Amino acid sequence: MKKFIFKTNNSWTGTILRWTIGIVFIPHGLQKTLGWFDGMGFKKTMSFFTENVHLPGMVAFTVILIEFVGSILLLLGLGTRLWALSFIGLLTGIMLTTHLENGFFMNWFGTQKGEGCQFDILAIGIVVTLLIEGGGKLSVDQWISHRNNMHKD
């Protein structure tokens, strides 16, 4: 199992995709944990998720954890496949519980009740590719995998 988590293709594909997801989601994680970018911070976000969205506390905490810690570790390329799987669950949950009811398209012009599932599908495609490819070049996963292969002899 450990071998699968850290194994990665030696290509730029994983690097570009994990940096893309990391850059897109780290501001969301910072909003939810530290209140940056006009966010609510951890305590208010937990309260909003549990009281308004009616998520169980553990699910609310997991959402925040994935968006904050997961984004940072994807940027570094540490446990890429594990975090990709986590983002697949996160994005599927958001799409099915919140965005799908608003249709397909994103709410570019503010004419819909909320966001559609277009972004979720795009982001799921990216993280599924990371699940298959791994973290790629310049990842901690690559360093760990290379180091483990050197010590096999």
| pTM (two decimals) | 0.90
Instruction: Say which residue, 147 or 41, is predicted with more confidence.
Output: 41
Residue 67, pLDDT score = 98
The verdict on residue 143 lying in a domain is yes
Residue 2, pLDDT score = 65
The verdict on residue 84 lying in a domain is yes
Secondary structure of residue 4 in the 3-state scheme? helix
Helix (H) and strand (E) counts in the chain: 8, 0
Whether the predicted pLDDT of 6 surpasses 90: no
The verdict on residue 72 lying in a domain is yes
Confidence of residue 80 (pLDDT cuts 50, 70, 90): very high
Which tokens go with 61? 């905490």
Domain enclosing residue 87, as ranges = 10-147
The verdict on residue 74 lying in a domain is yes
The verdict on residue 4 lying in a domain is no
Residue 132, pLDDT score = 94
Number of independent structural domains in the chain: 1
Residue 145, pLDDT score = 85
The verdict on residue 54 lying in a domain is yes
Q: What average pLDDT is seen over the chain?
A: 93
CA dist 132 → 6, 21, 82, 128 (Å) = 12, 15, 11, 6
Whether the predicted pLDDT of 151 surpasses 80: no
The verdict on residue 132 lying in a domain is yes
The verdict on residue 101 lying in a domain is yes
| Mean pLDDT for the stretch of residues 11-39 | 97
Most confident option among 8-12, 52-56, 99-103, 125-129: 125-129
Dist. CA 109–CA 90, nearest whole Å? 25
Percent of the chain with pLDDT strictly greater than 70: 95
Nearest to 128 by CA among 18, 7, 4, 11: 18
Residue 153, pLDDT score = 45
